[in-house]
């Protein structure tokens, strides 16, 4: 890498780290931009991003096989270590005919589960030996961090053989009490499905599967959980009801009834996350949490998925909470402004009343 380019990148990364930015955007003919507290901030004291700068970054950071994928698919997401200071998730894509880059800074250490701000009911999930845990949320909601923190909690407390499958690998684990094998799709395995098949036929106790649109993955994850082992699945959904509906949509009509029964029998919990701007700076986590109970299992078995909303709202004693209830707690505690919370609420019209109760 040319000295001038290396200096530019290090300066941008250092600025992003100091400002606790979650993302960096490099778009041709624009200033570099940071995502800080869920808002975009242009670095107008930096040079305008040029086409040659972005192309040089891609040339230096991507290997030959990755360059070929970028050429064929017009986009690729990879991770990269920058010395010993930064680990990045890099999204190369084209817009208006120019190559652009979106960078996400990955913390060097997996944060403790207890530090994420999740409801207490979530903590006990890492003690489970079998079943299915779904961690969901839109891009940038912290779902990957929650999955990693769960895996790390198990790593510290139990002797298990764990397989983590992602594309690309984000957090890096160091074996403690558990043996953790991290497999990147396209590099260590041809597909998510192949990795799950291999785990199911091997001495694997736990699998953690990153977000994917690959067909067949959901079915295989459910079968793995049904085999008496623990599965953690990340999904890109925004509510508990949507998560279950999309999960079941992966099954054909003639297999849906069986899928509902297996999901009802094996589901441990669904956690749906959002990161919301905190008063004074930074982000705070709001979470919708469904814990499996007899009532929850019955509704899933019978396909009455939308009725789970009522259970979420009325089952605080079992550790459940709706997204709007979680947001309301943050407003009442003074951590989040009500106007910000409304932007994330499932029912904005009634949210003000909930937040004032």
Q: Flag residues of the chain having pLDDT under 70.
A: 1, 83
Burial of 63 (0-12, 13-18, 19+ CB in 10 A): exposed
- pLDDT tens track for 220-242: 999 999 999 999 999 999 999 99
Q: Would you say the C-alpha torsion 63, 64, 69, 74 has a positive or negative sign?
A: positive
Residue ranges of domains in the chain, CATH in brackets: 3-106 (3.30.450.90), 113-321 (3.40.50.300)
> CA 122, CA 320: separation in Å to the nearest integer?
9
- Predicted local confidence at residue 85, as pLDDT: 73
* Whole-number Cα distances in Å, 323 to 17, 80, 149, 309: 29, 34, 21, 10
pTM metric for this prediction: 0.92
- Predicted local confidence at residue 108, as pLDDT: 82
- Give the number of other Cβ atoms within 10 Å of residue 105's Cβ: 19
CA-closest candidate to residue 300, choices 346, 269, 273: 269
- Predicted local confidence at residue 230, as pLDDT: 98
> CA 138, CA 98: separation in Å to the nearest integer?
26
- Predicted local confidence at residue 300, as pLDDT: 98
Written as six digits, the tokens of 54 are: 């972005």
């Amino acid at each position: 890498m040319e000295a001038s380019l290396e200096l530019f990148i290090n300066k941008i990364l250092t600025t992003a780290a100091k400002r606790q930015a979650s993302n960096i955007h490099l778009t041709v003919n624009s200033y570099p931009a940071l995502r800080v507290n869920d808002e975009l901030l242009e670095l107008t004291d930096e040079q305008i991003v040029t086409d040659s700068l972005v192309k040089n970054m891609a040339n230096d950071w991507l290997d030959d096989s990755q360059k070929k994928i970028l050429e064929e698919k017009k986009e690729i997401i990879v991770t990269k270590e920058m010395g010993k200071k930064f680990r990045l998730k890099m999204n190369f894509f084209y817009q208006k005919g120019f190559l652009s880059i979106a960078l996400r800074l990955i913390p060097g250490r997996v944060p403790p589960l207890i530090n994420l701000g999740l409801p207490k009911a979530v903590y006990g999930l890492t003690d489970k030996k079998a079943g299915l845990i779904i961690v969901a949320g839109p891009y940038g909601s912290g779902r990957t961090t929650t999955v990693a923190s769960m895996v790390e909690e198990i790593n510290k407390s139990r002797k298990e053989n764990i397989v983590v499958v992602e594309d690309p690998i984000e957090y890096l684990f160091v074996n403690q009490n558990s043996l953790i094998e991290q497999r990147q799709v396209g590099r260590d395995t041809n597909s998510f499905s192949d990795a799950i098949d291999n785990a199911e036929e091997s001495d694997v106790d736990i699998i953690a599967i990153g977000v994917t649109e690959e067909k067949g993955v959901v079915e295989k994850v459910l079968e793995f959980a049904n085999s008496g082992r623990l599965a953690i699945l990340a999904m890109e959904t925004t509510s508990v009801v949507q998560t279950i509906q999309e999960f079941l949509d992966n099954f054909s009509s003639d297999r849906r009834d069986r899928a509902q029964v297996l999901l009802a029998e094996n589901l441990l919990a669904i956690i749906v996350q959002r990161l919301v701007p905190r008063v004074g700076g930074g982000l705070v986590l709001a979470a919708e949490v469904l814990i499996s109970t007899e009532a929850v299992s019955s509704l899933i078995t019978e396909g009455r998925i939308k009725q789970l909303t009522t259970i979420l709202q009325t089952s605080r004693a079992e550790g459940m909470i709706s997204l709007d209830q979680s947001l309301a707690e943050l407003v009442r505690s003074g951590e989040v402004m009500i106007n910000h919370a409304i932007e994330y609420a499932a029912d904005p019209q009634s949210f003000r009343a909930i937040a004032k109760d």
